[in-house]
Structure 1
Amino acid sequence: MTSLPPPALELKAVTKRYGPVTALGGVDLRLDRHSVLGLVGENGAGKSSIISVINGTARPSEGQVLVAGRPVTLGSPAEAARAGIATVFQEQGLVANLLVYENILLGRERQFSRAGILGAAAMRRFAGNVLGELGIAIDPDAVTGALTFGERQLVEIAKAFALGHLYPVEPIVLLDEPTSALSDRETEILFDSIRRWRSKASILLVSHRLSDVFAVCDAVTTLKDGRVSGHWPIDSATPDLLHEAIVGRPRSAGYYKEHEQRETFGEPVLELVDVEVSGQLRPVSLSVRAGEIVGVAGVLGSGKTTLGHVITGALRPSRGAIRVHGRPLRPGSRAAALAADIGSVPAERNVAGVIGMHSVQSNLVLPSIRSFAGRFLPILSGRRQAQTTDRWIQRLRIKTAGRNQQIRNLSGGNAQKVVFAKWLARGVRVFVLDDPGRGLDVGAKEEIYALLRSLARDGVAIVLISENLPEIIGLSNRIITFRGGAVSAEIPAPAHDKPSETAVVTNMV
């Protein structure tokens, strides 16, 4: 009888403690050879700690890590690399001004050095062979910084697969949120590639998007509070089952809080009349009333993101008028938009939404900083800033060590809450949201959705731009679809009669 080969990677009763905090509590995890395992859980559930243990940046306090059935001690990323383990992080770790082949072999140049002379030609050939073997059509001599985000992601993956040629190992590739900043087309290319690459490697896919897991994984493991809460072959898993395992309660029918959706609205708050951006947006007229959530849907380049930039003053339209509460808004001015109480939550919150090195308080009070100055002296009141920050931390249940914690150390969901809080503290009346659920786990999304319903009840006019169709459909009162820079349809979306995804997509493509 032929015995089955050992799994490519296995964690046995792995525990990781940071002082008094237990990040992982007795985790068992198995990644079979030539398979794709999905790893999902809320922010703070332990996903990053598992990756750190596997890639050698953290040592387990207890338990074992096995590679190909052999116990290993991975004391550094270099040791993990020699065992065939490579991590592709969502933030990317490439050097922009290096060539592609130089990035693929960064830190491993010694194998191409003879008598202290670097063999650039051999490195170039090697990288070209790896790219060709993976079916990645990128020039090894291209400047990395000139590539698109999706192309750089593929270079990161090629760098990981290069381990199998540099060392006598079969690669184990850890993909950390690989689709978080990819377009739908780039995601499709990545998934097609993963399906081909599974014959050459074993892949652990960490993602907040359950759709990613169902699209490409063979099995899925869920985490909650640092422990494994479930494991299923993908054919046996369902979104509701995973949701319950991740958040600890069944997914309710009101995930998008449709029962709280308003059906009556106030006067128009935001009005666009024949707004146009040359080459990007054809004349658009739109009105959003107090308490209304208007969804904006479209494929990449359709004009939906351009619309958001125009409303928030990030982009000046070539013609047309914008009014807030009936008063003209000076176009192309962020300052004017701010003065008109227009707030925005960008898709890339880590780049445009928060200042990672600054504290929760500094980020939260920034849009309303002038309100903390005295009437006669331009001195900011630290006491009132602290009181305001503490009030919003409590109101939005932001999990933080305190108002002075650097925001880069918060989970994605809590950082997103700070982005919301900084505008709510100012009292915005128009909110433009671009993919507010991007990169958030299902529990954090549910809290954000509840917050949007609360804002609508308070009469805030909301423009919701999203690539997540269930999100758009579930939250919106009506949906505006864009195609080729123009509005292609306006679709009612009352709580009792939501349109199908097909009905929306038909007007997008």
Structure 2
Amino acid sequence: MSNSEQIALELDRVSKSYGPLVALRDASIRLKRHSVLGLVGENGAGKSTIISIVNGTRAPSAGTLKVNGTVAQFSSPAEAARLGIATVFQEQGLVPNLKVYENILLGREKQFSRLGVLNSDGMAAFATLVFDELGLQIDPRCRTGDLSFGQRQLVEIAKAFSLGHLYPVEPIVLLDEPTSALSDQETEILFASIRRWKEKASILFVSHHLSDVFEVCDDVVALKDGSVSGQWRIEDTDADRIHEAIVGRPKLAGYYKEAEQRLVPGAPVLVAEGITVAGELDDISFTLHEGEILGVAGVLGSGKTSLAAVLSGTKVPSSGSIRLHGEPLSFGNQAQAVARGIGTVPAERNSSGAIGVHSVEWNMALPSLHKLRHDKAPVLSAARSASMAQGWIERLGIRTPDRHVQIRNLSGGNAQKVVFAKWMERGVRVFVLDDPGRGLDVGAKEEIYALLRELAAQGVAILLVSDNLPELIGLSNRILTFRSGRITSEIATPPAAKPDEATVVRGMV
């Protein structure tokens, strides 16, 4: 067998330019058949450009793309799909009102059609076959919109793997941040499935989580500024080496800024007593202090996300109370929560944390319009708004061409900084953070961690909900573990004696 036949996917000196902007420069990458290739890099490094070229969304400006040794030129994703190439994007593309099996076969229903009539039973049976092979426990006949985000992500993955049954090809699956919204259990199922499917498919695995790359990948390629900065067999490298290739400098020992952790939190800021939400939270009581980062750990469905929703005013408990700075806080009133100084950074940044079609400036200004009005007229002062936005861009190092750019065009890390900036401009004293590092590269995370330490040093109280245990342990003053809607343990996390992950996990499972 020739060397070319051993390679499922090859990019040979591929470049992509948009006018004077070079998004990808002379990138050469090889995905071996029946293997998993990790692709890592900061936002803007070129990962998305590579995915778009491979799946037929964009044409390269130069270079060659080969699929199973044959030069390929795609004019559409449909052409790429016929050669077995499927993409699972971080931002989901399922239709919520369709049944699961309809989404699995969307655009490919003809194989289950006779005389213009769809064989829905056959379609459902096909989806069941794919789910069984992936080890997924999902009802193919249920409405897709009724599934959790993590379950929908697994449906996306199953849809990609289904190409191996629909066409006489061996699938090449592009996974873009596939674990970003999965629980630990769902991630384990996915990884076990990937290991099985390597016998029948080849996988490009894009991730910001180096731990995931080391867990499931055979090889890894690092990108920086549109170029390949390193590539290794996974057993021949380590996380520090990859980190340096991604950001251009060695990983700092204090990645989570433990040395800046406030040793003695201040006075109580928020006191929750007996918070209960039927089926989600059961008698939750805790105190959040000035300058404290209080971590909340738990598996999917443990109640941690429901707690964040209660504090931010988007969920109403059946009983309990919250006192903020000694005064009662009304439930289910997000406007009052903001007015009282609570800012929320949700896990779904693009859909809930920011308005993508609005500019960086407008997103920053929205919570603080009252501060940005003219002194003598009830209208927004363009000068004040512009000065405010430019100030935060400079202070937080937000990389954007200007303040008028739509926030959806920023990288994940820069968009996240805008979300923080809008609350910092508002002057909030309590932050409720739900997975603030989700979808961010290692460099962007490091900047967000530094920002959290700065806020805590200023006396801001922070509730940090996260699925990333190293992040949670590294940043928190203490951690509350949740299981089945109840607090199961409180774990101290002083900077010089951080607990190991196993200690936290014991309270979660």
Structure 1 residue 422: Cα displacement: 0.4
Paired residues for 1:105-254 under 5 Å: 105-112=105-112, 123=123, 126-254=126-254
Q: Distance in 1 between matches of 2:492 and 2:136?
A: 42
Paired residues for 1:337-376 under 5 Å: 337-376=337-376
Question: Helix, strand or coil for the counterpart of 1:8?
Answer: strand
| TM score, norm. by length of structure 1 | 0.94
Structure 1 residue 278: Cα displacement: 3.9
Q: Deviations over 1:482-507 (max 9, x none)?
A: 23322222222121121222222222
Question: Helix, strand or coil for the counterpart of 1:190?
Answer: helix
Which residue type is aligned with residue 237 of structure 2?
A
Q: Is structure 2 residue 133 aligned with structure 1 residue 101?
A: no
Q: Distance in 2 between matches of 1:487 and 1:104?
A: 38
Which residue type is aligned with residue 434 of structure 1?
D
Which residue type is aligned with residue 311 of structure 2?
I
What's the counterpart of residue 307 of structure 2? 307
Structure 1 residue 99: Cα displacement: 3.2
Structure 1 residue 131: Cα displacement: 4.3
Structure 1 residue 373: Cα displacement: 2.2
Q: Distance in 2 between matches of 1:23 and 1:207?
A: 19
What's the counterpart of residue 378 of structure 1? 378
Q: Distance in 2 between matches of 1:282 and 1:41?
A: 41
Question: Helix, strand or coil for the counterpart of 2:300?
Answer: coil
Structure 1 residue 393: Cα displacement: 0.9
Structure 1 residue 228: Cα displacement: 0.9
Structure 1 residue 380: Cα displacement: 1.5
Q: Distance in 1 between matches of 2:449 and 2:132?
A: 44
What's the counterpart of residue 411 of structure 1? 411
Structure 1 residue 110: Cα displacement: 4.1
Q: Distance in 1 between matches of 2:304 and 2:217?
A: 31
Q: Distance in 1 between matches of 2:283 and 2:165?
A: 54
Between 410-419 and 482-491, report the one with greater CA deviation: 482-491
Between 460-469 and 369-378, report the one with greater CA deviation: 369-378
Structure 1 residue 249: Cα displacement: 0.8
Question: Helix, strand or coil for the counterpart of 2:470?
Answer: helix
What's the counterpart of residue 51 of structure 1? 51
Q: Is structure 2 residue 325 aligned with structure 1 residue 325?
A: yes
Alpha-carbon spacing, 1:31–1:484, altered in 2? closer, same or farther (3 Å): same
Q: Deviations over 1:368-407 (max 9, x none)?
A: 1122223453211122111101110111111112111111
Alpha-carbon spacing, 1:124–1:470, altered in 2? closer, same or farther (3 Å): closer
Alpha-carbon spacing, 1:156–1:476, altered in 2? closer, same or farther (3 Å): closer
Q: Distance in 2 between matches of 1:166 and 1:273?
A: 55
Q: Deviations over 1:390-448 (max 9, x none)?
A: 11011111111211111111111111111100000011111111111111110000000
Q: Distance in 2 between matches of 1:429 and 1:151?
A: 35
Give me the CA root mean square deviation.
2.1
Question: Helix, strand or coil for the counterpart of 2:491?
Answer: strand
Structure 1 residue 339: Cα displacement: 1.4
Structure 1 residue 28: Cα displacement: 0.7
Q: Distance in 2 between matches of 1:277 and 1:100?
A: 29
Q: Distance in 1 between matches of 2:394 and 2:220?
A: 34
Matched-pair contact (CA < 8 Å) for 2:40–2:206: yes
Q: Is structure 2 residue 289 aligned with structure 1 residue 289?
A: yes
Q: Distance in 1 between matches of 2:364 and 2:270?
A: 25
| TM score, norm. by length of structure 2 | 0.94
Between 337-346 and 126-135, report the one with greater CA deviation: 126-135
What's the counterpart of residue 26 of structure 2? 26
Which residue type is aligned with residue 381 of structure 2?
S
Between 222-231 and 315-324, report the one with greater CA deviation: 315-324
Q: Distance in 2 between matches of 1:328 and 1:127?
A: 50
Question: Helix, strand or coil for the counterpart of 1:425?
Answer: helix
What's the counterpart of residue 12 of structure 2? 12
Question: Helix, strand or coil for the counterpart of 2:27?
Answer: strand
Determine what percentage of the aligned residue pairs are the same residue: 64
Q: Distance in 2 between matches of 1:221 and 1:489?
A: 40
Structure 1 residue 147: Cα displacement: 3.4
Paired residues for 1:259-274 under 5 Å: 259-274=259-274
Q: Distance in 1 between matches of 2:232 and 2:65?
A: 21
Structure 1 residue 129: Cα displacement: 4.4
Structure 1 residue 305: Cα displacement: 2.1
What's the counterpart of residue 83 of structure 1? 83
Q: Distance in 1 between matches of 2:222 and 2:347?
A: 26
Alpha-carbon spacing, 1:71–1:440, altered in 2? closer, same or farther (3 Å): same
Question: Helix, strand or coil for the counterpart of 1:195?
Answer: helix
